[in-house]
Chains A and B, each alone.
Chain A
Amino acid sequence: MATLSESGSRGVVAAAGVAVSDWAVSPDPAGAASEAARIGFPVAAKLCGPQIAHKTERGLVRLGLSGVAEVEAAGAELLAAAAPEDGDVELLVSTMVRGNRELIAGLVRDESFGPCVMLGIGGVLAEAVADVAFRLAPLDRSDASDLIGSLRTQALLGAFRGEPAVDREALADTLCALGSLAHDQTIGSVDLNPLIISDGRPVAVDALVELADRT
């Protein structure tokens, strides 16, 4: 299934109202470094293109880069790692978002029920915890807050390891924004993974928009 690049995906969800980490793209390492300096260190750097999925598995993500030289070096390595089948690629830099908690959220299209917003507990234990809930899109505020309340792991949404409780209004904004994308029939699905809880507020640090099958 065709996808938008991370940059394109970020653009789509940000326009809908999802909070995403600051980002910029550049075709070359020097440009990436100057964008990084503009948005502020530390940054993450990734190889970005519409054909590229599974960035982490392929080692196409560099985290915690703290200066121009590091970004330039990482950028050169990432471009060198691009394979011919990756097609057109560029470098994406984004601010490092700090937070101990990760959620996942998305928009999926169920064969019977149509577009649904998904929310779940993210992070390395996500699959084992398997704490995921759905609502049919679009969502109103009460649907969104009920969705948040449906997660079993509510303790993770309260104050946690020195961080404030999750701002449920801000999270509801994110979920409603995802739900509003259901009307766009060109969008097959949206994946925000992870959605880092930073100072209580959810911030998407990666986004993937799959385009709807046009068959």
Chain B
Amino acid sequence: MSVDLTPLFEPRGVIVAGVSSHPGKFGFVTLHNILTCGFEGPVFAIGREAGTVLNQPVLTSVDDVPAEAADLLVICTPVSANEQILVSAAARGVKAVFVAAGGYSESGPEGVAAEVRLASLADELGLVLAGPNGQGVVSTPVDLCAQIVAPWPPRGRIGVASQSGNLVSAFLNMAEQTGIGVSRSVSAGNAASTGLVDYLEWLADDDETDVALCYIEGLPDGRDFFERVRQVSAQMPVVVIKGGATSGGQRAAASHTGSLASDDRVFTGMARQAGLLRAPTIETAFDAAATFATQPLPQGDNVVVLTTAGGWGVIAADAVTAHPDLTLATLSDNLFDSMDEMLPPRWSRNNPVDLAGGETRETIPDLLHLVAGHPDVDAIIQLGLGIQGNTAALTRHGPFYPDHGLERIVDFHDRQEHLYATAAAEASAANSKPILVASELATARPDNPLVTAVRGSGRLCYNSADRAVAALGHVVRYAAWRRART
């Protein structure tokens, strides 16, 4: 049954247990991160020695925290202390506990027994128990960074739930890099009590979250996961990267989280059946989640590739054609006729729509609106932008700038890139169709005005046509899965 995780993600106040003055210790770092990232509720530090840490008074017992002032407790203390801390915290009105501390089932038979005791105690006390052996929890809507590590992502619509803290960090770092933000993130740790699907169920009902991004290593009860996650999928897309897909990875997973491996082909089938969007790599998983978070769901699978020049379009056409869930759209003559009026005679008259360098100031924006508005088209991949901005960058930093008319042309180029990115976002929103802009400049020159303008429009600038196609494939597949079931 669905667990109310509100006290974990939106606590009134937070208690950190295990705070010492050593800045290398997890308790210190967690306290530091909570105070630094702007959480507005009261924060209480509990340590062995009274005093102050980070200008915060250190209390020597959870019993000293005012009643009902905090409903999240983050535990960085050793195993032996934790059961008593749970009892005290429950008495002070705490509702949720994140146990960052290790020494539990990952560490041997005694740890297994301690973990069982911890989980049943939390259950008795009516506490939500996250972890143990987890990295922490992030909740951007309330500026909460209760983690033993740094990444603090921009606020956004992606909810991250992971069986590995490192993968949470990877996704948060990518959120920072791309500007496509995160609503909540949590590492499930050993998942003694609260498991991946519990987080997913809560995220599905969360107003701040539009898509879940999830790392799975092993599922203790695969059937239960399947029955519940397919309900989650009906509410929101769930992007999954699965560790242990090969025998080598399975051995690694067994030593990492003790996960039992099923045949990966069974997981693959289950994922498709449950509407999960399985991505093969961290990058493609993030791209897919970022697309769900920022683009409308398409009505069908007909894709148009728009490009300012040839090679990009050919590669993208190959990728669309090879993708099992996408179709390179066949376009009607009436659309070609309308385009004829906007383009020079040498344009491709085909999909990919290759402008053959024949564009003037308004051509690309006008074309985006025209194509996005046509019923033959469900989604667009726009390539070959950023060239003008790139030229402008070299010019601006060259020896001839700003003379010889260069200042004016540099400004023009930069304005045009902004115009293109804005037009893509507007045409997409106006027609409720995905428009994905891709350019290697996204990472090669993240200061390129196209890249910054796409980011400014709230969307992802994909690193390549291939990555845009892969991300679009997930979105099209999910939309079809939803249609088939409603």
Interface residues of chain A, those whose CB is within 8 Å of chain B, are: 110-114, 116, 132-136, 142-143, 146-147, 150
Contact = CB atoms under 8 A, between A and B. Distances in A.
Contacts, number: 52
Nearest to A147: B269
Given A112-B222, A113-B222, A114-B223, A133 B268 contact: yes
A134 B269 contact: yes
13 contacts: A112-B222, A113-B266, A133-B265, A133-B268, A133-B269, A134-B266, A135-B270, A136-B266, A136-B269, A142-B484, A142-B485, A146-B272, A150-B269
Contact of B260 (A111, A143, A146): A111
A136 B270 CA distance: 6
Contacts of B234: none
Question: Chain B contact residues (Cβ within 8 angstroms of A): what range?
Answer: 10 to 19
A186 B149 CA distance: 51
Contacts of B269: 116, 133-136, 147, 150
B226 interface: yes
A146 B270 CA distance: 11
A135 B275 CA distance: 12
B440 to A, nearest CB: 31
B268 to A, nearest CB: 7
B273 interface: yes
Nearest to B484: A142
B262 interface: yes
Interface string B176-220: 000000000000000000000000000000000000000000011
Given A111-B260, A133-B269, A134-B270, 8 more contacts: A112-B262, A113-B270, A133-B268, A134-B263, A134-B266, A135-B272, A136-B226, A146-B272
Contact of A113 (B226, B484, B485): B226
10 nearest CB pairs, A to B: A112-B222, A134-B269, A113-B222, A114-B223, A135-B269, A134-B266, A112-B262, A110-B266, A142-B484, A135-B273
Nearest to B269: A134
A143 B269 CA distance: 9
A179 to B, nearest CB: 11
Contacts of B222: 110, 112-114
Contacts of A146: 272-273
A146 B272 CA distance: 8
B124 interface: no
Contacts of B272: 135, 146, 150
Contacts of B265: 132-134
Contacts of B226: 113, 136
A126 B371 CA distance: 46
A114 B262 CA distance: 11
